[in-house]
Amino acid sequence: MNKKKLCCFYVNDIHLITMLLPYINERINEGTEVITMMETDMSNEAKKVIEEIQGKKSRSLLEIDWKSKSLSYLYECDVKDKLILISGTEEFIKETNRIIANRDENCNILNCFEIMQGSEKLQEILDEHDKVINTSGEKDPQEVFEGYIKKDYSEITL
């Protein structure tokens, strides 16, 4: 079982959608299906942003469901080999990740943190993820956050 955890940070819904669309489009073009787990409905914002995109659009990109979903949705859908995009409060993100972790399926998880919510726990969030997504794609946390050093929790004794 292989679960790759990615994270990103955003200022507001429009910023999140604008930042993620190129990354999501690239994944779709590679044949990856995207599942969204949004705590709040972002469909109006997504429609505005997508309508403003110039150039080539993926039909699948236009079909992404940006509506809010309850956690029970995860029990009903197939997550195998999919990209699961998660946005909401810290509690919503943690619970969604817990449900996914209990499933024996390969998938990629993209946790999206509203920057004001996650700023106090930035070190912890970065330590828990493999990569950071920004407008230039997947990056190592050290590339995005100058001075970041991943903590080695294996040496901590309780």
In the prediction, which pLDDT does 86 show? 97
User: Considering only CA atoms, which of 61, 60, 77 is closest in space to residue 17?
Assistant: 61
Q: Per-residue pLDDT averaged across 117-131, rounded?
A: 82
Contact call for residues 108 and 6 (beta carbons, < 8 A): yes
pLDDT band at 118 (very low <50, low <70, confident <90, very high): low
User: How do residues 13-50 score in pLDDT, each as one tens digit?
Assistant: 999 999 998 899 899 989 999 999 999 999 988 888 88
In the prediction, which pLDDT does 55 show? 53
92, pLDDT greater than 60: yes
Residue of 124 and 85 predicted with greater confidence: 85
In the prediction, which pLDDT does 149 show? 81
Q: What CA–CA distance (Å, rounded) separates 119 from 71?
A: 25
Where along the chain do its domains lie? 3-74+88-101+118-155
Mean pLDDT score across all residues of the chain: 86
- Which neighbouring-strand residues pair with 107? 3
pLDDT band at 52 (very low <50, low <70, confident <90, very high): confident
8, pLDDT greater than 80: yes
Q: Per-residue pLDDT averaged across 94-114, rounded?
A: 93
For residues 138, 140, 143, 145, the Cα torsion angle rounded to the nearest 10 degrees is: 100
